[in-house]
Structure 1
Amino acid sequence: MKRVIIFPNGSNTDGKVINLGKCIDEVLLEAGRKLGITARSIYSPQGGLIDDIKLIRDDDVLYISEGEPFRPCPSWTTPSSVSVSVAPTVSTKEKPRTKLVPVDGAEWVTLNIGGKLFSTTRSTLTRQEPNSMLARMFSDQSEVPWNSSVDANGAYLIDRSPTYFEPILNYLRHGQLILDKGVNPEGVLEEARFFGLDYLVGILEEIIERNAPADDNTPISRREFMLKLLATPTNSELRCQGLNFQTANLSRLDLRYINFKYAILRNANLSGANLSYCNFERADLSGAVLDCANLLGIKMVCANLEGSSLRSCNFEDPAGQKANMEGAQMKNVILEGSHMASVNLRVATLKNANLQNCDLRGAVLAGADLENCDLSGSDLQDANLRGANLTGATFELMLNALHMSQTLR
């Protein structure tokens, strides 16, 4: 069983040795019985209030108070106190400065952080991050002496925030960062940087980044969208109108029936995704990759697909629901090898588009701009091309002959 040496508050005489009980109340009860006083508070030799039995170690020297504040002894150098050397002369306008002298790493020290006292041990301050500023300040292996002002009770003065220092000290005690409700991690981060706690800085930066709310212009990541997707019941519509998915990787996902109206999907990767019956009305899909995607019954009215890639996509719904891409902006789009039977491309702009080997049977291309469009090897049987602009369009290796009636108004 551990034992401690106790003295009355403000005295280094009449000391007693007692066994350390299981809780702080037992220590107070035994100390009061031994010293013949009503014991109410326990102080370390530096004046730090001890309120937890775990803070007391074997052979510690403690000062027992009847409720009055800590009173330093006339000569309070004890076997457990921090050794100090005081300069011979001190200006009356200047606070006394002490020089830390290396002592046993298990000895207690008291820090005055912004007016609040913290009692801890040298080993606590040096164990978790031995290269930190705190470790160098209190390490008995340090080759560089460190000077600090002390208060009237001998506690080392450090002008920092006690609110943000407390979780740092607890982290140094047990290696786990625990932030109470109302403690701003950004404030703790600044203190961790000041004390040179590099590993803790990394933990806090990750917490801040993870908890930072996305602003209106921040693109949604695949992970964020997956969490939203998984949280939506299968019988409910997932509404993503106007959301920013720029450059997002949504490839190979089942995204059927989602409402992407007005969404921003510039340069997004949707290759291999199932987008059947989705609504992309007036959405921005410029530069997006939709290769091999399922687009059954899709709605892309007035959508912007300029420069996008839709190789080998399937628009043909066996149930008969037609894809609607009326008025879509599809300059320089690549639709090579896509199945687009009965798709509605009325008044769509397909200038310089690549529609090689596409199945366009029964497609509606009335009024569409097909200038310089490559339709080589495509099947345009029963397609409606009335009023379409076919200037410079290529029709080589057509599977079915193009009848003049298809191009008349």
Structure 2
Amino acid sequence: MINLEKSNLKGADLSGAHMSKANLKGSFMRHILLKRAALNRANLEDADLEAATLDNAILEEANLSGCALQLASLRGANLRYAKLKNANLQGAHLENADLEHADLENALLYDVHFDGANLLDANLRGTSLKETDLLHILRYAKNWDKARFSDHFQERLETLRLITGL
């Protein structure tokens, strides 16, 4: 198992790296390139991945709880069963990402791009969303109706769906 806990990997290019089950807890990884990297079951808890590029990365069952992922690019990433509790994804790009069964409880999701993202059985309870973000999810995300929102947001989504006809 790779142990890089609390490492400084700022700006590194680890595209295509095989880092399954790696321990990257608390690592400083701003602007890192991890395109197509295999990070399934990796521990990235509390890592700083601001403006990181993780396009098409495999993060299945990875622990990203408490991660700073502002402005990160996760286009086409596999985040099935990933833990993203309390993560900050403000402004992140999750276009075509697979978030099936992902746990995003209490995550900050302002201005996240969910176009084509799969939210089947994703836990979005307690997330911070704006009205515009809800409308964006309704218009562009797949399986949003099967995601789990807090009751307050679920009611707002249903209202928006009725108003917009989506």
* Shorter-normalised TM range: 0.7 to 0.9
Partner of 1:296: 25
Question: Structure 1 pair 407/309, CA: closer, same or farther in 2 (3 Å)?
Answer: farther
> Distance between the aligned counterparts of 2:114 and 2:85, measured in 1?
17
Please, what is the CA RMSD of the aligned residues? 1.5
CA deviations 1:367-408 (Å, max 9, x no partner) are 0010001100011111011011110111111245475x4255
State which of 129, 132, 148 in structure 2 corresponds to 1:406.
129
Partner of 1:329: 53
Partner of 1:357: 81
1:388 aligns to 2:86 (yes or no): no
Contact 1:383/1:406, CA 8 A, preserved across alignment: no
Counterpart mapping for 1:6-405 below 5 A? 272-316=1-45, 322-401=46-125, 405=128
One-letter amino acid of the structure 1 residue matched with residue 60 of structure 2: E
1:314 deviates by: 1.1
4+ runs deviating over 6 angstroms: none
Contact 1:302/1:326, CA 8 A, preserved across alignment: yes
1:289 deviates by: 0.7
Contact 1:348/1:368, CA 8 A, preserved across alignment: yes
One-letter amino acid of the structure 2 residue matched with residue 384 of structure 1: L
Contact 2:106/2:124, CA 8 A, preserved across alignment: no
CA deviations 1:265-285 (Å, max 9, x no partner) are xxxxxxx21000111101000
> Distance between the aligned counterparts of 1:359 and 1:348, measured in 2?
16
> Distance between the aligned counterparts of 2:93 and 2:123, measured in 1?
22
- TM-score normalised by the chain length of structure 1: 0.31
Contact 2:106/2:125, CA 8 A, preserved across alignment: no
List gaps (5 residues or longer) in structure 1: 1-271, 317-321
Partner of 1:51: none
1:298 is paired with a residue of what secondary structure? coil
Identity among equivalent positions (%) equals 36
One-letter amino acid of the structure 2 residue matched with residue 290 of structure 1: M
Q: Which has the higher strand share?
A: 1
> Distance between the aligned counterparts of 1:398 and 1:386, measured in 2?
17
- TM-score normalised by the chain length of structure 2: 0.75
1:294 deviates by: 0.6
One-letter amino acid of the structure 1 residue matched with residue 97 of structure 2: C
> Distance between the aligned counterparts of 1:300 and 1:286, measured in 2?
13
CA deviations 1:167-207 (Å, max 9, x no partner) are xxxxxxxxxxxxxxxxxxxxxxxxxxxxxxxxxxxxxxxxx
> Distance between the aligned counterparts of 1:386 and 1:397, measured in 2?
20
